[in-house]
Chains A and B, each alone.
Chain A
Amino acid sequence: MTSEPRAPLSPQDSNIPEGAFGPTPSQTVGPYFHQGLVDFQGLTGLLGDRTVEPGSDVPGERITLTGRVLDGDGRPVEDALIELWQADAGGTYARSADAPFPGYSRTHTRTPGHSYRVHTVKPGSAGPGLAPRLNVWLGMRGLLTHLLTAVYFSDEDNSADPLLALVPGERRHTLIARREDTPDGAVYRFDIRLQGEDETVFFAP
């Protein structure tokens, strides 16, 4: 794909003015994203809050990730959109959304208690020294440009992970989900704090 010529953009067939080529800027998802991204025509959206169906033979421990998104006043954000992207239990990321375990899911906080919740498989390490992690995309009303963060697991050895190593030591705990073993299986709690003490670490692409 890299050998292809640049697509011609001309004033006749593009909205992008001559000399103004560049990335399309981000805009907020707004408060009404459920209409298009979650409840498509009243059906379940293309991406749901579960990456494996009950009874699926995809390998790996079933886990639930849940938590709240908290604003600068400590109040739960009631209209956040959260997408997860992760490797499978063997540490491999899917290339196709049609793979048995695509690893992509979408959830939100328009729920009782304003908690998000996603049912998935605990990812494996994707390489030497890499701790298992979930990649998180976060959008909401109030964010003109979305945020990226990562979730690590409290019951894993995270000491050699190169991404965590970039995070100041006193802030690393904001990226670690706390495991609780419940009758319904492993639940990891992960609150996202947008501001204030224990502000979650966010990454820039």
Chain B
Amino acid sequence: MTQSPPKSQGSVHAPHLYPPYTSSVRRAPHERLIPLPAALEGLHGPVFGAGRLRPDDHDTTRNARVNGEPLGERIIVRGRLLDGSGRPIRGALIETWQANAAGRYVHGRDEHDAPLDPNFTGTARMLTGGNGEYELISIRPGAYPWGNHPNAWRPAHIHFSVFGTNFTQRLVSQMYFPGDPLLAHDPIYQGIPDEKGRQRLISRFDLNLTRPGWALGYRFDIVLGGGAQTPFEEPGHDE
């Protein structure tokens, strides 16, 4: 507490200290971050091969079945992984995890008393294709309560973990659904200072992407910002 809170990595990302998100108060560093030099050796990241993935890894409606279909509204999420210049990033690993339709995670620490689904774990992984595109088939997750503040509920969301071409592009984010009234009350979402940045986390309902009689479709493009070696310029958004 010896100085003012550190700047975040530009205004696109949330500051580390954001008191409405109570867990940040004892976990956010107080000292200023030291910029990584662009010429630093070894900042490119590894490229993952398809050999480690199984055919249904991208489809949570199939990859954890025990005795039937998972419950809930089936969704198709399709999007592109792009760099800060809008160019597709190919062969990149995306991992996702989420709650089930009732808002419950398959995790020992989840104390929400909503039911678990025996045919659903909500985990998926995939590689981006030739134009940076990926497809996730899943179940729309439910909202769930948490202890951050009185009557706190997380908006429905899917966690996305993405590897770019650079170690400093490594991103974990969350995809939200359009029109969710909980977004206005969620400190995790509202912690992002830039309104356009917040908009980019909301998927777009796309009727053309629906599979007739089977699933609803959503678009979710992901843009990996600059690491030290691929600076991303966003005039007017540097505070």
Q: Assess whether B135 is interfacial by the CB under 8 Å rule.
A: no
A96-B86 contact given A16-B221, A33-B97, A142-B21, CB 8 Å threshold: no
Complex contacts, B88 vs chain A, CB 8 Å: 4, 7
Whether A142 pairs with B23 at a CB distance below 8 angstroms is yes
**Contact call A71/B27, Cβ cutoff below 8 A:** yes
Count CB-based A-B contacts (< 8 Å): 280
Q: Is the CB of A25 within 8 A of B29?
A: no
**Interface-side segment among A55-63, A79-87, A114-122, A178-186:** A79-87
Chain B residue, CB-CB nearest to A146: B172
Contacts of B132 in A (CB 8 A): 7
Asked whether any CB of chain A lies closer than 8 Å to the CB of B202, the reply is: yes
| Chain A neighbourhood of B15, CB < 8 A | 144-145
Interface flag for A67 (CB, 8 Å):
no
Using a Cβ–Cβ cut-off of 8 Å, how many residues does chain B contribute to the interface with A? 102
Q: Give the nearest-CB partner of B27 in chain A.
A: A142
Residue pair A22, B223 in contact (C-beta under 8 Å): yes
- Please name the residue on chain B nearest to A86 by beta carbon: B42
* Distance in angstroms between the alpha carbons of A41 and B95 in the assembled complex: 12
Q: Which of B41, B159, B161 contacts A130 (CB 8 A)?
A: B41
> Residues of A with Cβ closer than 8 Å to B?
1-2, 4, 6-7, 9, 13-17, 19-37, 40-42, 46, 71-73, 77, 79, 83, 85-87, 93-99, 102-104, 126-127, 130, 135, 137, 139-148, 162-163, 166-167, 171, 194-196, 199-205
Interface residues of B (CB under 8 A from A): 8-9, 12-16, 18, 21, 23-31, 33-37, 40-49, 51-53, 63-64, 79-80, 82, 84-88, 93, 95-98, 105-107, 109-110, 121-125, 131-132, 159, 161, 167-174, 188-189, 191-192, 194, 196-204, 206, 218-228, 232, 234, 237
